[in-house]
Amino acid sequence: MRPQIQLDRESGVPLTEQIVAGVTTWIRSRAAHPGSKLPSIRQFAADYGVSRFPVIEAYDRLVSLGYVDSRHGSGFYVAGRPPGASQCDGTSDPRRAEDESGHLLQQFNHPGETLKLGSGFIPEAWRDTESIAQAIRHVSRTDPASMVDYATPLGNLSLREHLQARIAQLGIRADTSQIVITNGASQAFDLLMRYMLKAGDTIFVEDPGYYNLYGLLKLHGVRLVGIPRTRSGPDLDVMQSQLKLHRPKLLFINTVFHNPTGTTVAPPVAFRLLQLAREHGFTIIEDDVYADFQTDITDRLATLDQLEHVIYVGGLSKTLSSALRIGCVVASHAIVKDLVDIKMLTSIGGSLFAEAVTASLLERGAYRKYLERLRRRMRDALGSTIQTLEDAGWEVFEKPVGGKFLWARVPHVDNAERLVECGAPLGVTVAPGSYFRPGMEPSPWIRIHAAFGNDPRAQAFFKAAAQLR
């Protein structure tokens, strides 16, 4: 069975990388059935007019990645259960193996040195790795116990004091005993789900929104109802109509520099959301992990509500370091007490060393200086990427003043799967907009990380995608 891929010898991307990217995209699109035989190395090379050597290397990588089976004396076949396939029913939710979530976007497992244009990571060159290294050396010298001991269930007190001061700048009043440190925002969400939800509960989520959250919620057996995200926040008309049909337990919302649209909730929408929460008896989980990208502070839901109907989730992983995995939950004393019990049962404690290193970075002022540089670079990248997209004929959903993400589409392309296919031979990986929707509904949009928008491969992709017909 011949893979339906395109190779571009002028792109500068090695042929091996193009073959691997093309074949994996072809397999993930379900165009090839498990067990289908691939062309022999000699036949593939002849079909695409290339040397056998990049084909040999590409097939070897595809076998290592689990997309292809090699059968001695017989040839190469599409694997019976490609990466991400369910162990239960043989089906696969593509998000579970290719996103930041759990089967983890191409930023984790996509082969080769492709440009991960849809990733969520700050470029390594933009990180302040020297300050992190200095903090690690400082903690190793002054607090050797942190390298071997558990953190307390609430988390490092000094770090919680710093986080308390940071949320106070947002107008959120809480003492340190109302803050629990988590292993990134993902653990924060998981603890809250274990505490607040049971199978069969109905939850309101944003559409589009954070796909890892959708996966976690589905693991807990709850029902997701998507509320469209507009430029000013959740669509209140849709939400009010859905409230006539459902009694949601929770609303999950990303208020500032929303992932993936880059939008920020407008004050009138925020006030109405709180009114609806009070009227209908649901709790709002406010995801504010992009808070530190914001220069001009806006009111959070937790600011307006002071943790009565809102539970606040924050963190530093999106800016400081993904490896340190520092998140937090800020809530009432009663909720935090129960969350700590669950945290002890599920993970005993956090990383004392990561928490101490992060506290050191905050104490020494290194993070503040880094953040100023990062905000400036991201604002510049957003402006230049928006201009590049518009010059190429793309439509941008919103023009954010900060954060990382742009939500964009080619106006005459109605399914972003075509954009994924367009990017693969150019060495560019993106996730289709369907990944960001609760039910994986088709979408023409894709998420773009602005930090990578000036890469020549990204610019070639923008131009090529705009010419699709």
Residues 6+ apart with CB under 8 A from 28: 82, 94, 98
Question: Considering Cα of 74, then 91, then 449, then 312, what sign does the dihedral take?
Answer: negative
Q: What pLDDT is recorded for position 73?
A: 79
* Residue ranges of the chain that CATH labels 3.90.1150.10: 93-122+366-469
CB 32 within 8 A of CB 47: no
* Residue ranges of the chain that CATH labels 1.10.10.10: 1-92
Question: Which CATH number among 1.10.760.10, 3.30.565.10, 1.10.10.10, 3.40.605.10 corresponds to the domain 1-92?
Answer: 1.10.10.10
Among 155, 162, 139, 140, smallest CA distance to 350 is for 155
Q: What pLDDT is recorded for position 348?
A: 85
Among 384, 426, 437, smallest CA distance to 112 is for 426
Per residue in 29-62, is it b (16+ CB within 10 Å) or e — as a string?
eeebeeeeebbebeebbeebebeeebbebbbebb
Question: Considering Cα of 143, then 146, then 147, then 148, what sign does the dihedral take?
Answer: positive
Alpha-helical runs (H) found in 318-455 = 333-347, 352-363, 366-392, 417-423
Can you tell me whether residue 439 is helix, strand or coil? coil
Query: pTM for this structure?
Result: 0.78
Q: What pLDDT is recorded for position 306?
A: 97
Q: What pLDDT is recorded for position 83?
A: 56
Tokens of 13: 């991307």
CB 213 within 8 A of CB 205: yes
Strand order in the sheet with 405-409: 395-396, 405-409, 446-449
Which residues on adjacent β-strands are paired with residue 116? 429
* Residue ranges of the chain that CATH labels 3.40.640.10: 129-364
Residues 6+ apart with CB under 8 A from 21: 110, 111, 112, 114, 424, 425, 427, 429
Task: Give CA–CA dist 396/322, Å, rounded.
Answer: 27
Q: What pLDDT is recorded for position 12?
A: 67
The CATH code that applies to domain 129-364 is 3.40.640.10
Q: What pLDDT is recorded for position 384?
A: 97
Question: Which CATH number among 3.90.1150.10, 1.10.3720.10, 3.40.640.10, 3.30.460.80 corresponds to the domain 93-122+366-469?
Answer: 3.90.1150.10
Q: Read off φ and ψ for residue 45, nearest 5 degrees.
A: -60, -40
Question: Considering Cα of 86, then 91, then 96, then 99, what sign does the dihedral take?
Answer: positive
Residues 6+ apart with CB under 8 A from 439: 224, 226
Q: What pLDDT is recorded for position 88?
A: 41
Q: What pLDDT is recorded for position 32?
A: 76
> In order along the chain (469 residues), what is the average pLDDT of each group of 10 residues?
81 81 81 85 91 88 83 84 47 45 41 80 91 95 91 93 96 97 95 95 96 89 96 97 97 97 97 98 97 94 97 94 93 96 91 95 92 95 97 97 96 95 92 92 96 95 95
